Structure 1
């Protein structure tokens, strides 16, 4: 029995995401998402108008490498004790007011001209069910860092965007 308990404890530890202070990532707590490569990789994530549109605002990386960007929160689709875990579905929402009369919850949007999926905002948090996969995101481990599939406009890509989470 002790072996099984130890195994389950180690598995739980491996699936837990940690912030820059080594503490468990919590739901409904403000964090910054920062590039692991700070000097050459730019700053934190923020919102910006891209292309010819004003709204919704898109998820982009700050050009200024010392900027933490905007704070955001994770909301698990199926919350478990408020802890954010690897490979589980989450809504991600910036904790900021904007000029757009829309939410700052992330979603994916397909751009026909580039043939690429980009991260943008405007989803309704908690809107689950059929056809809502474009607003549910997973954080995965990549090498020894975290990966969000990914001024740089966040987009789905084969090249991982290695990130860390700093509590605000």
Structure 2
């Protein structure tokens, strides 16, 4: 009788300490724009740096693909977000792309990617791949993370679990004392999102 009681107590403890079958993990928070509305996949947004300016493309266009920059005098570049799963939430892999076609580099896509080909830094450029999450497209996947009272952009693709060692913030790298290019850095770049 004692063994049955002890066994029953053990089973009751084991079952009460485990989550119930079918219980769901809480979804990450939605990313909100400057007016407090959820970002939508069918809308265009400006990424607004906390310290001023707007996201744009390099203006001198030395070569293709074009680099993504912060421009203090720009009107901004409308962008779209394409999450791996239909809703734009924090910590979810997503593609970032121009909302409109740019004719300066017609043979490159309008999707952001990291470009490790530079000797100075790993810059953010155009020329990425939209969708198709795999190890072949890992350079095109970014995340939006909560950061202080706003957000930050991060390169840490979940579509490549073995790539965790390359996780870095997207920050600003001053290139040749003139352009503020987006690049992989250790310093977060605080941003907000405003619907166009």
The Cα shift of 1:49 comes to: 5.6
After superposition, give the CA deviation of every residue in 1:63-83 in whole Å (9 maximum; x if it has no partner): 32xx4411000001122xxx3
Query: 1:94 matched to which residue of 2?
Result: 98
- Does 1:139 find its partner at 2:148? no
Structure 1 residues 17-96: aligned runs within 5 Å? 17-38=31-52, 43-48=53-58, 53-64=62-73, 67-79=74-86, 83-96=87-100
Q: Distance in 2 between matches of 1:78 and 1:127?
A: 12
Pairwise CA RMSD? 2.2
SS of aligned partner of 1:166: strand
Aligned length: 149
The higher radius of gyration belongs to 2
SS of aligned partner of 1:33: strand
The Cα shift of 1:112 comes to: 4.2
8 Å CA contact 1:32, 1:68 repeated in 2: no
- Does 1:125 find its partner at 2:155? no
Could you tell me the TM-score, scaled by structure 1's length? 0.80
Change (3 A) 1:139 1:78: same
After superposition, give the CA deviation of every residue in 1:87-130 in whole Å (9 maximum; x if it has no partner): 0000000112222112110000113421x211000123123212
- Specify every segment of 5 or more residues in structure 1 that has no aligned partner in the other structure, as ranges: 1-7
- Specify every segment of 5 or more residues in structure 2 that has no aligned partner in the other structure, as ranges: 1-23, 154-169, 172-178
Query: 2:30 matched to which residue of 1?
Result: 16
SS of aligned partner of 1:123: coil
Could you tell me the TM-score, scaled by structure 2's length? 0.69
8 Å CA contact 1:106, 1:119 repeated in 2: yes
Runs of at least 4 residues of structure 1 off by over 3 A? none
Q: Distance in 2 between matches of 1:88 and 1:74?
A: 11
The higher-RCO structure (CA 8 Å, 6+ apart) is: 1
Change (3 A) 1:56 1:86: same
